Chain A
Amino acid sequence: MLSDTDLGALSLTLRLATITTLLLLLTGTPIAWWLARTRSWLKVPLGALVALPIVLPPSVLGFYLLLAMGPSGPIGHFTQALGIGMLPFTFWGLVLASTFYSLPFVVQPIQNAFEAMGERPLEVAATLRASPLDAFVSVVLPLAKPGFLTAIVLGFAHTVGEFGVVLMIGGNIPDKTRVVSVQIYDHVEALEYTQAHWLAAIMVGFAFAALLMLHVFHPTGRRKWRQ
């Protein structure tokens, strides 16, 4: 059935997707908040920048990230200065690349949830003595919960499904950068169709479950705030 390298690829993929999703919640929430609330002219260009990975070929994104993380790129300079060394062809290089790659899938659902609730819940909370931070935690986060759950499912699933960016940044190093999608590609190249089938079927099952979960979080697709 599944070989040790298959299992290694699966666990690596889960680790990558989990860490990436957590990082995205931390970075994506303030970005989504800013995009939902700002009246600055920068909203549109920055919003487009965040959405870029949706339309860009993964190889293009991977190419630029590879250059940026390389010895003469800005990220490369930074990591070298920190004494971490170079990120390409490492697990953390993949995490960083995945974070960029999946950013719109986390930012947009959260941004939509923030925009749908409008200013009013914050205004109400302020008239009830809640400081802005208090209001964010006690009102905004609970009201945006469906948006956050959607963001988690989409961010996780999208990271699990990446291929092009992984090849550009991570290459194909067992237990370090060889994720499931790359492993399936290897099996097919080696004409190991049975192995490829097993992994592919697991991916199909996972993707289907993820979509089911989205439906559970948004049972009616309606927001109840205005009442």
Chain B
Amino acid sequence: MIAADIIRARFRLDYSDFSLDVDLEVPGRGVTALYGASGSGKTTLLRAVAGLTRISGGFLEVNGQVWQDDTRGIFLPVHRRPLGYVFQEASLFAHLTVRRNVEYGLKRMPPSFRTVSMGRAIELLGIGHLLERMPAALSGGERQRVGIARALATSPGILLMDEPLAALDARRKEEILPYLERLHEELNIPVFYVSHSLDEVARLADHLVLFEQGCILASGTLVEMLARLDLPMRLGEDAGVVLATTVIGHDRQWHLSRLNFAGGDLWVRDSSTVLQQPMRIRILARDVSIALSPAADSSILNVLPVVVTGLADDAHPALILAQLDAGGVPLLARLSRRSAAALELRVGMNVWAQIKAIALIG
């Protein structure tokens, strides 16, 4: 990877009640999720990247530009960093209309640096009908969309988002997620996305950085990270993999769509997908069970031939996690220790994965 396409961050803080020790190198493109419990340091890192919190002795390089290097006395003040920041609460300027909120950063950009127009930011977030309103007259979801549009209108070189959905209820989240997915697809802006919701991470992220108590436990592509056997214990009930698939067919009679990935084909409920459309899906470990033969007398639609590639303890002593290989793509299955013993499950065995549920996540 060339230096222009990478983000390097080294920060170390040591307080009696909080410490941060981070040495991170992630790709300077796509969505990088900073995931962990509250208080694990992910927001502190985001604020340090923005320059809102100054951690002395730090180093930060974003796509070839050094923003902070205290050994050389470099610290770019926040307002000189080409970034967009979305706060947990939208934090709109209460004295300005939506339009003037969005214009605020745009007007402070030299025109030659504008790659995202005002109209584009407004269109991407669907806030055209709100422009003349005051922030107090908006719903929580609308406010957050304006906050995101305002950050985008500065044509940022990186977009930093600090749990942008955490302050919203489930319906408002569903209202905003499609807009975030569009940003991902249509704009070529790297994003740091802080979250403690694995659902959001699975839908949006390409890269996952896992935080625990101020340290980075692991970092890698989302697909690899979610399939690792040593991490799911920390993900609890939500342990499971994310797969990239393509829609290859429809069965109108039974209202099903057929998805293809390297490990085979899967049937899912039809939800107005189009042929050849890429589709990200999520399969939770608890929804995968293992059989020694492809049962024909079962209600389960999706049964794939797989090889057991790993076995590991799960959070509860009654459970174990199995890592399976489906045509080179990893899956996870959560089963009881007793079942594993009954099947005499071992690494290298050829078995059948029965998949009870598949979530389409965009």
Contact = CB atoms under 8 A, between A and B. Distances in A.
Given A139-B93, A225-B94, A227-B143, A130 B87 contact: no
Contact of B136 (A120, A135, A224): A224
A131 B78 CA distance: 9
Contacts of B94: 143, 224-225, 227
Nearest to B134: A224
Interface in B86-134: 87, 89, 91-95, 104-105, 108-109
A128 B143 contact: no
Given A224-B136, A227-B135, A227-B136, A126 B77 contact: yes
Contacts of A129: 79-80, 105, 108-109, 154
B282 interface: no
Contact of B108 (A123, A130, A145, A224): A130
A225 B92 CA distance: 8
Interface string B42-63: 0000000011100000000000
Nearest to A124: B91
B79 A126 contact: yes
A128 B150 contact: yes
Contacts of B77: 126
Contact of A143 (B84, B95, B150, B154): B95
Interface string A123-157: 11111111110110011001101000000000000
A123 B52 contact: yes
A140 B214 CA distance: 33
B193 interface: no
B136 A126 contact: no
Nearest to A141: B95
A135 B23 CA distance: 33
Contact of A127 (B50, B92, B95): B50
Contacts of A124: 85, 87, 91, 93
B285 interface: no
B92 A227 contact: yes
A25 B214 CA distance: 45
Nearest to A145: B95
B150 A120 contact: no
A147 to B, nearest CB: 13
Contacts of A135: 79
A129 B151 CA distance: 10
A226 interface: yes
B85 A127 contact: yes
Interface residues of B, number: 27
A222 to B, nearest CB: 11
Nearest to A127: B85
Contact of A121 (B85, B93, B105, B154): B93
A222 B49 CA distance: 34
B83 interface: yes
A127 B136 contact: no
A224 B135 CA distance: 9
B87 A120 contact: yes
A37 to B, nearest CB: 15
A175 B150 CA distance: 57
Nearest to B86: A127
Nearest to A225: B94
A119 B79 CA distance: 15
Interface in A76-122: 120-121
Contacts of A139: 93, 95
A129 B136 CA distance: 24
Contacts of B95: 139, 142-143, 145
Given A121-B93, A143-B94, A127 B108 contact: no
A123 to B, nearest CB: 5
A127 B84 contact: yes
A131 B108 CA distance: 10
A124 B77 CA distance: 13
A131 B136 contact: no
Contacts of A128: 79, 104-105, 108, 150-151, 154
Interface in B65-89: 77-80, 83-85, 87, 89
Nearest to B138: A227
Contacts of B143: 227
Contacts of A142: 95
Contacts of A127: 50, 52, 78-79, 83-85, 105, 151
Interface of B: 50-52, 77-80, 83-85, 87, 89, 91-95, 104-105, 108-109, 135-136, 143, 150-151, 154
Interface of A: 120-121, 123-132, 134-135, 138-139, 142-143, 145, 224-227
Given A124-B85, A126-B51, 13 more contacts: A120-B91, A121-B93, A123-B78, A126-B52, A127-B83, A128-B108, A128-B151, A129-B154, A130-B105, A139-B93, A142-B95, A145-B95, A226-B89
22 contacts: A120-B91, A121-B93, A123-B85, A124-B85, A125-B79, A127-B84, A127-B105, A128-B104, A128-B108, A128-B151, A129-B80, A129-B105, A129-B108, A129-B109, A130-B79, A130-B104, A132-B79, A134-B108, A139-B95, A143-B93, A145-B95, A224-B136
